[in-house]
């Protein structure tokens, strides 16, 4: 996935926010390009990339490119890449969930802000798909 933003005018702003989930050896690659030209004084841009890997053979890469041509801009990049925590799964299983349900709950929580932006029918379908994808993914 990727995005490109060009700031050509003063006091412009942009926000790029991505989330990805990889499993079964899946590879997620995010590329972004933010360009702030000389005239874009006061520009603000933030790039955020979050990736969740469900196993040890999946991978996630973030490749940000930032071309800032003025000192009077506020630009930031943040990447969070990780795996499902064994401690979180243990905690949820100690509260009565089986391992599969615990992992599905963690994935749903990770994707929660995405599903909140969807119409109700699509959000319900996304949650059902997460449950189906998590069946048999323990290992």
Q: What is the tens place of the pLDDT at every residue in 46-69?
A: 999 999 998 889 999 989 899 999
Cα torsion for 80, 90, 105, 131, to the nearest 10°? Answer: 110
Kindly indicate the confidence band of residue 81, based on its pLDDT and cuts at 50, 70 and 90.
Answer: confident
pLDDT at 111: 84
Ranges 6-10, 64-68, 116-120: which has the least confidence: 116-120
Nearest to 28 by CA among 66, 60, 64, 74: 60
| pTM of the predicted protein model | 0.76
């Amino acid at each position: 996935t990727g995005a490109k933003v060009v700031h050509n005018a003063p006091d412009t702003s942009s926000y790029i926010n991505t989330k990805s989930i990889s499993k079964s050896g899946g590879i997620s690659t995010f590329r972004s390009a933010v360009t702030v030209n000389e005239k874009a004084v006061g520009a603000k841009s933030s790039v955020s990339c979050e990736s969740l890997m469900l196993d040890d053979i999946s991978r996630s890469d973030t490749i940000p490119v930032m071309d800032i041509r003025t000192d009077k801009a506020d630009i930031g990049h943040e990447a969070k890449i990780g795996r499902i925590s064994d401690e979180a799964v243990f905690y949820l299983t100690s509260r009565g969930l089986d391992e599969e349900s615990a992992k599905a709950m963690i994935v749903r929580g990770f994707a929660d802000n995405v599903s909140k932006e969807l119409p109700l029918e699509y959000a319900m379908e996304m949650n059902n798909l997460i449950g189906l994808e998590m069946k048999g993914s323990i290992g």
